[in-house]
Structure 1
C-alpha cells in the first residue's frame, strides 16, 4: 500500500504526466487492490461509536433494569489476535484502533494575481484508539460504561493553497494539530430502564451526538464529513477531535423516538494549539459560558420487511457565551469603518433539521447494502455566524454492483450562504484605500460556496477500504473573484482492531 501511494504522489509531481492520466492510475490501482471479503465501510471507524448509539433504535422488548448497550465491533484487519479481542470483550473491555489517510491534489491552476496561491497536493491522516469499558462486567456496577478516545493527527490540507479556508479538502486536518497523542473524549454513561434513559457526563464532544450521523464520513470534504460545517460555525461548539466538560441526557419514550438535551461548558480556544493541543488542558479558567442543545429524533424501520432505516431529527441550541458581531461595533456602527472592536453578544443560537433514509435494500448485499438519501439544513444566528446557513443533498449506494457487494458509491453537494454582516464587512474592508485585511482570509467579498464530491469506496480486504475521490469548489472561500477549483485524491482506512 505504501509503495502504491508513493508512486501516485510521484506521478502528480511529474509535469509531463496529465492530471487525467494520474486520476486513471488512482482508479486502476484501487481496483487492482480489490479482493472479496466481508463488509467494511468508513462509517465503522472508532469515533463513530457515540453517533451509532444515537442512531440505534430501542430494542423490541427492552428490560426494565440498567443495561450497557453492546459496544460496536467493526470488521478489522486483525479480527482476534492471539485471542486478545475475545478475552477482553468477555470481560467488558472493547479496544479498537484504526488509521485513516486522506490525499488531495489540485488539478486546476489557482486564480491569477495571488502570489501566495499555488497548485499543490497534500496528505493528512490520523490514528484513533478507543477504549470502552463495561463496568457491570468489571466490578458489577450495573448499566455503567466509560468511553475514552485518543487520536494522533498529521499532515495538512490542499484547499488553502488555492485560497479556500471554509471547507478543507481533507477532513482530517486541524483540531488536534500535528501531535502524537490528543485526548478527544473521556466520559461515563449510565443506561437505565433497558436503555430508555441514557445519562452521560465528562469530557464530551457535543457534535458527536447532536446533529450527528455515522453516514457523513462516507465522504472526505470537511464541509460535510464529520458533520455539516455550519453545525460547528460557533467557536464554542465542540466537534471531533475537540472535547469539553458537559452533561447529556437522552430518553426514548418509544422504540423509534428519542429526545436528548445537554449542557456543555463553553471554553475559549478549544481548537487552538495554545490551549488544547493535547486535549489534556482541563483548566476551568477557560470556561466562559454554556451551550444548551436539544434534539428530537424519529428513527423508523420502513419497508415491507422493515429493512429501510431512517433518521429524522430537528434540534437547536442556545449559546450563552461572548460572541462578536460580524458587522456592528458597540456603538451600532460598522466596525470596519469605526475601527472599534465588534459588539459582543452574550447569547446566540443555531438550529438544524436533517434526514437520512434508506430507499431500497440490495438483497445480495449485507445489512448495510442499499441506496440511502440524505438532506438537511443548518441555520445559524445571522448576527454572529460566518455561515448563515448550509444545506446539502447526498446519496450513498452500497453494494449496487452484485459482484462487489461491499463497495459503495457516493455523491454529495453542499451549499453554504455567508452571513450578510460578513459580506458587508468584506465589502467595506476591501473598498478602502489602501484595502484593509478582510476577515476569514478573504480576498474578495464572500457570498456563497457550493462543493460537489463523488467517490467510490473499494472494499480491498477485511478491514481495509480505499476510495478514489473527486471534489469541485464553485466559488472557493465563497468568493466570486476566485475561479472554480477541482481536486482529485483518495481516502483510505485500515481498521486495525
Structure 2
C-alpha cells in the first residue's frame, strides 16, 4: 500500500546516484533538467512548461474497522504562455493545465470519514482540463483580472503555506467551506471571471462571478466545457499583507464571504415547513446559500531576515447558513517549521488540527429519522483530525513527506473507532 512510495524511490534512485557522481541533478530544479537548453529557450520566448507527479499512500495502523491501506496518484502538466513575449501584450498570460488521477481512497472504501485522508483523490479520478484562462495585470499590478476556465479555490480563501498536509480538510483552503458552498476546487474547474484590486499597497479586495455546475467533478466531465449551470457563485474577499519589508515577518490576514444562487435544500424542514424526517415529504428549497470565513497566517520567528529557517502559524474559521449548510462552523489551526536540522534548510515539519461541527438542524433531522427507522441514518455531530508531517526535500525536484493522521469520530457519528493513519506523500517535478 505504501509500496508506491518505495517504487518511486527506486525509480529516482538512479538519478540521485548520477547527481552524486556528476553533481548535476541534485541541484537542478527539475528531474529532466533543461532539455539541452530547449527549456530555457522556450521560456525566453514566452512558453514555460511545468509537470509534477504526486502520490499518496495511506494505511490504518490502529483503530478504524480494520488494518488496510490504499494508494492514489496525480500527474499534472502546466503550460504558461507569456503574452508579452509572444504577442506584445504586457503583463498578460494564458494558463493551460491538464491533470490525470488514478487510484483508490481509504476514506471512500473503508473509513467513511468526512475529510479524505488522501487529498489527491477525487474530481472523477480521470484525465481532465483543470485550467484554461487568461490573466492580466494593469496599473503597475494594482489591478489583476482572470477570465476563463478556473478552479475557484486557486485565489480565494487560501492558506497556501498549509498545502503541506495529506488530509483533505485543508490544502490551502478548508474542505468544510467547499462542502457548504457548492464550489469546486483544483482540478475541477468552472467558467468564471475574477478581479483583484489593491487600492493601497498590501491591501486588496477580490471578487468574481463563477458558473455553478454540481456535476463538473464527475468522471465523464473531464473535458465538458459546457455552460450548463444551476446558478452563479459570487465570492468577495478582503486581504492585508504585512511584513513584506526586508526585516519584516510576513503575514496574511483575510476575511471573506460567498453567495451561491442555486436552489439548495433545507437540511431539516420539508416543503410545508414541517420536520421532513417524520413527513417523508421533499425538503424545502431555498433560493441560494451563503457563508463567511476568516484567515490569519503569520511568520512569528526567523533567526535573521535572510535565513531560510522560521516558524509560520495559521488559523482559519468559518461557517455556513443555518438552513442549508452541512457544517455550521469549522476551524483549523497549525504551523510549519522550515529548516529542521543542520544542512536541512528546505526540510520542514508541519502540524495541524481541524474540527467541523455538523449543522445542529441536520443532526436533529438524523435523530428524528433514526427514531422512526432505527439504523437508517448515522447521527452526525462533529469530526476532528490531527496531522503531523515531515517534508524531506531530497533534491529540488524530489520530496518525500511521511505523515501521521489521527481521525476522531470518523464520519462524525462515533459509530467507528478513532483511527491512526500512516501516510506517505511523494512529489517529483519534471
Per-residue CA distance 1:321-361 (angstroms, 9 max, x = gap): 11111111110112222111111111210111001111112
Check whether the contact 2:295–2:316 (CA below 8 A) recurs between aligned residues: yes
Check whether the contact 1:354–1:377 (CA below 8 A) recurs between aligned residues: yes
Matched, 1:290 2:232: yes
Per-residue CA distance 1:422-457 (angstroms, 9 max, x = gap): 211221222224543x3xxxxx31001110000101
Distance 1:4 1:96, change over 3 A: closer
The match for 2:288 is 347
Per the normalisation by structure 2, the TM-score is 0.91
Matched, 1:175 2:123: yes
1:145 Cα deviation from its structure 2 partner: 1.1
- Between 394-403 and 74-83, report the one with greater CA deviation: 74-83
The match for 1:465 is 399
User: Distance between the aligned counterparts of 2:383 and 2:205, measured in 1?
Assistant: 33
Runs (5+) with no aligned partner, structure 2: 10-18
- Between 409-418 and 132-141, report the one with greater CA deviation: 132-141
The match for 2:364 is 424
**Aligned pairs, how many?**
419
Check whether the contact 1:312–1:354 (CA below 8 A) recurs between aligned residues: yes
Runs (5+) with no aligned partner, structure 1: 9-33, 41-73, 112-117, 439-443
Matched, 1:82 2:36: yes
Check whether the contact 1:266–1:321 (CA below 8 A) recurs between aligned residues: yes
Check whether the contact 1:377–1:392 (CA below 8 A) recurs between aligned residues: yes
User: Distance between the aligned counterparts of 1:39 and 1:317, measured in 2?
Assistant: 44
User: Distance between the aligned counterparts of 2:26 and 2:379, measured in 1?
Assistant: 46
Match of 1:230 among 139, 162, 176: 176
- Please list every run of at least 4 consecutive aligned residues from structure 1 whose deviation after the TM superposition is greater than 3 angstroms: 1-4, 34-40, 160-163, 362-367
Matched, 1:159 2:119: no
Q: More strand per residue: 1 or 2? A: 2
The match for 2:277 is 336
Check whether the contact 2:390–2:401 (CA below 8 A) recurs between aligned residues: yes
CA RMSD of aligned residues (A): 2.6
User: Distance between the aligned counterparts of 2:244 and 2:286, measured in 1?
Assistant: 44
Check whether the contact 2:248–2:305 (CA below 8 A) recurs between aligned residues: no
Residue 218 of structure 1 aligns to a residue whose secondary structure is coil
Matched, 1:480 2:420: no
Check whether the contact 1:365–1:405 (CA below 8 A) recurs between aligned residues: no
Q: Residues 60-459 of structure 1 correspond to what in structure 2 (within 5 A)?
A: 75-111=29-65, 118-177=66-125, 179=126, 181-234=127-180, 236-274=182-220, 276=221, 278=222, 280-284=223-227, 286-301=228-243, 305-363=246-304, 367=308, 369-433=309-373, 435-436=375-376, 438=377, 444-459=378-393
1:7 Cα deviation from its structure 2 partner: 11
